[in-house]
Chain A
Amino acid sequence: MAQLEIKDLYVSVEDKEILKGLTLSVNKNEIHALMGPNGNGKSTLLAAIMGNPKYTVTSGSITFEGKNVLEMSVDERSRAGLFLGMQYPQEVAGVTNSDFLRAAINARLEKPMPLFKFIKEMESTISKLEMKPDLAHRFLNEGFSGGEKKRNEIVQMNMLKPALSMLDEIDSGLDVDALKIVADAITDLQQQNEMSLIVVSHYARFYQLLKPTHAHVLVDGKIVVSGDASLVERIDTEGYDWIEKEYGVHVEEENDQKKPSVSSIGSCAAKVRKGA
């Protein structure tokens, strides 16, 4: 049995069916590129695997290392070794990056990590991702630029060392240099731990750096084509039209489809009512 096994998965958001019978296997040490036009279910798949409460699995199964993921709470999934690097990481005012990460690391250890060891590890990870040294003491993602937020996701991934990481457009918002730094950090961790990856991106350049072992195209809630890295190249040059012709599926770009709302209410945990 594969490390991650998804069978005939149906997922709805607010009563709208997004995934319609998706099947996917991911093994240890494999890097899967997940492509497809916007609004066809890539983010939904990752959110459903992680257990986002806004997404309802109506049928099908997900197992990870033999365990039924659908019976686990979000935090249990994380502690079991799943990680989701988000497209829109939340800002949490009042909680510093270091307090948060220390709590997250200690949540998966029997004995808390010694403070000194934690600080060392955090410092080296921050410098590896070439972020500002004061990151540890800043509030979690608060006032971060888009690129800083994405890098901070990778800082977290590096510290938590998951067995399987899902990265949802983690490359968007990164400039060319940052893209390289992030890709290198992902590759290093992947090789060290034989981590498996599911990577959603629209850019062939990011995939070229990560060197996927597998590639899939997700259309209308199902995987319609699977292959190796050459699939990425072909989509990069030809787009998605050929899939329509060769596989007889209708490729529809997201237009007026309602995206699940990712609402941010600003920079702090509370709704701000200034001067009230």
Chain B
Amino acid sequence: MKKMVLKDASLQKMVIDADMQLDIEVNPDENASLYIYMEKDVNVKYQIHVHENASLNLLIWNESQGMLSGESFCERNAQLSFNLGELQEKDMKQKHLIHLCGEESRLNLKSANIIKNTKTYEIVCLHEAPHTYSNMENYAIVYENGTFEMIDTGKIVKGAYGSESHQTSRALILDEHARCNITPELLIDENDVQASHATTMGQIDENQLYYLETRGLTQKQALGLITIGYLMPMAHVLEDEALNLELSTIIEKKVGLS
């Protein structure tokens, strides 16, 4: 097991190229940010603890095939930004369980997906304390032969009053053989809460493609421009200009814009 204790500091970077169990901890009152690059085909299991009044801004950029799973714990007034860049053309399984166990703890989870193989997600956010907040946003471009399975659950237990749980999933399906299954779930045992979910799934609009083409963009460029809007926010979640530029260049390449 590899243990990391993160502190107030500029961005930490780490490359994973072998199977690993990872233990990440942010001590009270510290604000940390971490970039994890999964390079080789690996299985990774993690545990994340964000202690009182601490925050973690995490981006996992995954170029690997395998399994990513783990549990996160957010103590009182802790904030976790959990970002998943999944643009690799490989099969991937992910399981994430996030405990908002301290009062007023917050989760912002985002995933950006290019689906050319099979990607399966199970994400559960447990609201275990009052006034906790979660927002989960998933974006996917599903290509020919791609299968996207997403079960996204927000659970607010009894006693976690004043909590909010929100989910948005958007999938753009580029081929009639592509498969996409999004199951948003809200399980709520408390009355005084706010919760919402929105799912949009759709195919590319030919009228939009034509419109962009009349301005001189090739069909490939037009398609790239429409799809990039789904993915590009992932390049800017961390405050590191060089890294953001590197990631946006990768995204442009993956959608065929450069």
Contact = CB atoms under 8 A, between A and B. Distances in A.
Interface of A: 50-53, 73-75, 77-79, 83-84, 86, 89-95, 99-101, 103-104, 107-108, 139, 156, 160, 262-265, 268-276
A93 B216 contact: no
B93 interface: no
B154 to A, nearest CB: 14
Which of B182, B203, B225 has most chain A Cβ within 10 Å? B225
B201 A271 contact: yes
B216 A270 contact: no
A92 B208 contact: yes
Contacts of A275: 197-199
Contacts of A84: 214
B225 A95 contact: yes
A264 B197 CA distance: 24
A274 B169 CA distance: 10
Looking at chain B's contact residues, the main secondary structure is mixed
Given A78-B213, A103-B217, A273-B201, A92 B226 contact: yes
Given A103-B225, A103-B257, A269-B208, 7 more contacts: A53-B210, A78-B214, A79-B216, A91-B208, A107-B221, A273-B201, A275-B199
A100 B204 contact: no
B78 to A, nearest CB: 30
Interface residues of B, number: 35
A160 B201 CA distance: 33
Interface string B181-219: 010100000000000011111111111101111111111
Contacts of B161: none
B213 A74 contact: yes
Given A74-B210, A92-B211, A94-B229, A269 B202 contact: yes
B172 interface: yes
A194 B8 CA distance: 61
Nearest to B216: A78
B208 A160 contact: no
Given A265-B205, A269-B208, A95 B226 contact: yes
Given A94-B230, A265-B202, A75 B207 contact: no
Most A C-beta atoms less than 10 A away, residue of B170, B202, B205, B214: B214
B218 A75 contact: yes
Nearest to B200: A270
B228 to A, nearest CB: 8
B136 interface: no
A50 B212 CA distance: 12
A104 B217 contact: yes
Contacts of A53: 206, 210
A84 B215 CA distance: 8
A268 B214 contact: no
A104 B202 contact: no
Nearest to A94: B229
Contacts of B212: 92, 95, 100, 104
B225 A271 contact: no
Interface string B116-159: 00000000000000000000000000000000000000000000
B36 to A, nearest CB: 27
Contacts of A51: 214
Given A75-B216, A271-B203, A275-B197, A90 B226 contact: no
Interface string B1-40: 0000000000000000000000000000000000000000
Nearest to B233: A94
Given A95-B229, A270-B171, A271-B202, A90 B216 contact: no
15 contacts: A52-B210, A53-B206, A79-B216, A86-B211, A86-B214, A89-B211, A92-B212, A160-B215, A268-B200, A269-B172, A269-B205, A272-B202, A273-B202, A276-B199, A276-B201
Contact of A107 (B170, B199, B218): B218
Contact of A104 (B170, B204, B215, B230): B215
Nearest to B139: A94
A138 B56 CA distance: 30
A71 to B, nearest CB: 16
A74 B210 CA distance: 8
Contacts of B221: 75, 103, 107
Contact of B216 (A107, A263, A271): A107
A86 B208 CA distance: 12
A53 B214 CA distance: 11
Nearest to B206: A53
Contacts of B200: 268, 270-274
Given A75-B218, A270-B201, A274-B198, A93 B229 contact: yes
